[in-house]
Structure 1
Amino acid sequence: MSKRMGVFASVVLLIGLAGFGLIGPNATAVELDMIGQMGGANYAAAVAGDLLFTGIGPRLLVLDASDPNQLAELGQSEVLPGVVRALAVEDAYAYVAAGKGGLQIVDISDPAHPVVIGNYLTEGYAQDVAVASGYVYLTNTPVWDGSGWSGSGLHIVDISDPANPKQMTVYDTPGWEFGVAVVGDTVFVADGDGGLRILDVSDKTAPKEVGATYTAGYALDVAVGEGVVYVAEFDKGVGVVDVADLSNPREVKVIDTPGKARHVTVNDGTVYVGDGNGGLRILDVSAALEPVEIGAFASEDGRGVAVNGAFVYLADRQLGLHVLEVADRTSPVALSRFETVGTVRGVAADEEGGDRAYVAAGNTLYGLDMSTPERPQRLAGISLAGQVNDMAFVQKPGARGKGVLYVAEGPTWVERAWQGGGMRVFETDGAGGFQERAFFDTPGQARGVAVANGLVYLADGNAGVRVFNINKPETPHEVGFENMSGHAVDVALGQGRAHIATNGRGVDAGQANGHAISAMQRQEGTPDFARGLAVQDGMIYVAVMPDPGDPVLDGNRWPDGGLYVLDAENPAKADVARYYATPGDIENVAVSGEFVLVADGDGGLLVFQKAQ
């Protein structure tokens, strides 16, 4: 099943797995509706007059940029079937490269109500988009189809009727197509390890390669100047390619950058580079073949860049959208930032319900107000030294949002070695405040955590599952452990059983007998590459990562990564009840009363409600 089969618009499309031979004969029907979403990665920006367009996770946002000191949200699209990777704006439409959601065409004539009016679905991941003379040029990287990589190519799409885009052709290049730029009938493609490819597209049904050159680094994006092309080459920096003769392009120079060059934009004698952890780099290209870095702006993960006069808009994958004044290009000035919760890896809430939840984005914890689950609101946050992998929350009886948060914190890379990591214990005040009460170093990687009956179970990677007594949360002490045959990546508790996800071998289940887990056995029918678990009422909610090594069940391959709901009444074999595609690459899951909360990576936080 390709990723395209799992497309949804305002709600996640439920896949009827009976057609794939995956619904077990005794599976209990579970219906979930996606009712809310927040946050996600920020990869792209585009500007048109006083309107600024950006992608936050799987949504297109329209912002009023008339006052660069204070951006104001005007409207946002429905949840798209993939994460916004790139976008182009022309007239009344935004053309969105939406990852696994292909090309999404959004009517922006009413900025307060952007509406998807058309789409063009691809087999792989849509990466970049350019628009010229009634055509869209869409780059697409492949997916694994069980036997090899498929779905890559440059798609040329007729958008004369935006509601009904039509494929003209798909042109495959030697590498993986990432970035694209168009000048007249010439298309320039950043082709990964295929370098720079130059195509004549005067015949939209039959493009012809007229020139190519391999680049020093992995080509991710491309921007065109006068007789020169600038290529973002990841860890090599920015390549300078002389294209005065299109049939014989030559890379004449590579400008090293401190980060990972992922995006390039040319404007008025200047190249702006989205340089990953190098933030924004500013290159003077008044001498086109001899760029010189003249300015920079520090940011956590700089990606897409848009320019409007003296203002630059930098998309940061984790932090949101920066607004910079570059009247003096050597000293960019930060004016404002449209903040977001970035890539969501972990989520926690009290299993009985409540109007507070917690998410982890990178190494930052955020409290959320869930009183309106359709639009979760971010409260305060706290940053940790290591990456937050998972959390478990226990609310104090009768105390709104107040309780104890147990955090599985991964180790930090310091001076060529992994250091630290373990379990942190925080007391929460319900308003987003955190007060650390304890830390317990563990021998493994602290991947997942669950709480029940005064005990914490910590999935500790190659160190198995550790069990802690938390009758006094400020002084947890280890009381037992269980070795696993693989890396323990998460643990969930329910009906007296512990369910443990081990990397590459599915879910093991055993009796949770106080300080020990007994009668451990592989739970047949569970996906090999389970990433996160939650249990409620005999059902296991499993976050499954896409992987070429997915198992075969009843003669059919598992679908791509997403949220699986399994009937786990039988500890020896679980039956698949439902599968839900998600726009991002799912990381984890939590259940809170009638809600299922999904940490969807670049797709942000997804809120599902159990159907009545």
Structure 2
Amino acid sequence: MNQKSKNELSNKFKLSYALLALLVNSILVSMVPLSTQTHNNSGSTPISANDPKIGRFHMYGNAYCVSIDGDYAYLGTDYGFLCISISSHRSPKLIGRYQRDFPVIDINFKEKNAYALGIGGIDCLDLTYRSAPTLISSYAIDGIPYRMEIEDNLAFVITKYGDINTLSIFDISDSSQLTILGEYQTEVDLEALAISGSIAYIVSDEEGLQCIDISNTSNPILLSSWNDFERVKDIEIYESRAYVLDGKLGLFRFDTTDPSHPSLIDISLEENCLSSIDIKNSTIYLTDEDEGMIFFDVSMKEITYNETIEYYGVDQDIEVVDEYAYIASNFGLEIIDLKSIAGPIPIGRYDTDGKITSMQFHDNVTYIGTESGILAINVTNSSIPRFLNKFYTQTEYLAIENNYLISGGNRESLILDESNLFHPEKISELDIEFVEMIKVNNSIAYCVGSISSSYKLRCFDIKNFSAPVLLGSWNTEESCYSIDIEGDIAIIGGKTKIFILNISNPAAPISLGTFLINPEGNRITDIKICQNITFVSPGCKGLLSIDISNPKKPILLDTYDAYNCIHSIYVVNNTIYTADGVQGLQKFDVKNPKKIILEATFELDDAIGIIVTPQFTYAVSEKFGLFIFDSNTLFSGPQINKIPGYAHFPVYTIFGLCFLLIIVQKTNWKKNHPQ
């Protein structure tokens, strides 16, 4: 091969290497979400349509605060503030700025004016033309400002100058000339401020929560203080409650009905790094330096965790307006659509001790079976469930007939009189061990369980609860875990199959047919019969619909196949509700049993039981106890979206470019150093 041919071949290889480098770079870049690849001139970053973080505005420097005024967001930055149009939440657009030599720490509004607090003092600006805010007046303040609140014609500001910290009160009725009315001074560092009526609430690490009477603006008076915090960050007042954030100790909740004597209610989130708070419509919105944004409900006696959303940057401030949350961070502005992530919040909850096995509901009382006994919980006030009593017995399943509880367990099966809720009385025992499930139909209790080594269905006449009579039994060929009855048909769920029985004569049940469900041997956890259709939850195999109109030849109609673990099924008309240990609470449309359709999911860890009434839905978690939801809103919103992790676009791009650069450099070196 001559030299020319060698050079041509070498060039072809070089070109191939270069194309390969570009291909690798393209593949790596394609792995990155679009939201991290595309930037436009306005500073906004488009977000994926299924991401709750629907808008983002990037900027250089830090954002210290965010305030919303109509369709505009104002960001306090290192050099003044930015005015950003948020009429399109997905594409926030910079329309104006106010230039300043020092950072803006806080922004408040009064009519068409903005009051910007920063190093050096307060600036009052005319926002008639938002693209070019005009300075009206300034008031110089010595020291370092921390926070400002505006109520009517008054502005409240906390500052630090040397060893003196001051709460200053200004008259802003004349925007052209701010006038100081009074001051409250202390030697402790003031970190945050909130105003409610004639009381100013200030917080510090050394003196904790301080309540100050500001009814006489010229002479503020300290009413009380509560010690102490370690790294206090923010405070919010809501319905006679003060919520104080401490970055190390957590969220403190105080009763401030009497500001002269505030009392601590509770402390939560001790392990979190909380930084800012806003409260709207009975929901607490918190920002956390590690976890992002966290939601809580404040309508309950206890604060209940709801949801966490991660986002870019270290947060400085949060404001919630309508159905959107706006977060200022060192990356700029984050806009989060709360409709897509703020799912229903329990309106009541009761924690239980021990592992929960079953639940029944009767006459405003929820009965919960646990490893150590049966709990009776009054839910007349759904927001505050009230413990009534506990009957100590190991329980696997509960059934209710009139005012009697039938409890099946591994060691004993009992009938209890629940007419006296505070002192339930043991009436009698059933001659059956290792009960998995009980169904009562026409005063007959059908118990699936075992005696010795033979697994059986046992039928008891319980017309006389004090003396139940065994009518008959039926041997099954394998372990059984579930049963349902409709008319004269009983279906029993075993380890691998369902058994269809005629129970018109409970003394002598007759086998009609079987249907193989689980060749692998997963237990069938629950069964519900709806006319000629049976819905079956075969352990971790999803949800099945089976036509049993011909019991000798059942026909599988549909399978909702999912890697889940349905523990219980509840049927209302053409809707199925399930409690799933993995997925939580789920709602299925089964109008057409040949096509099971998942409608909605509400995440509840370790869910094992669900009962749905027109007003309330009662759900139990194996680990976390009883939850009560509003049935009208539980599944009304969209499903909670999972937040994908951010891919690092610059890293992938640089990797590909470096690969290409190495090849080019090698090519040039060979060209300049021929052998």
**TM-score normalised by the shorter chain: which range applies?**
0.3 to 0.5
Question: Relative to total residues, which structure has the larger helix share, 1 or 2?
Answer: 2
> If the length of structure 1 is used for normalisation, what is the TM-score?
0.46
Answer with 1 or 2: which has the greater Rg: 2
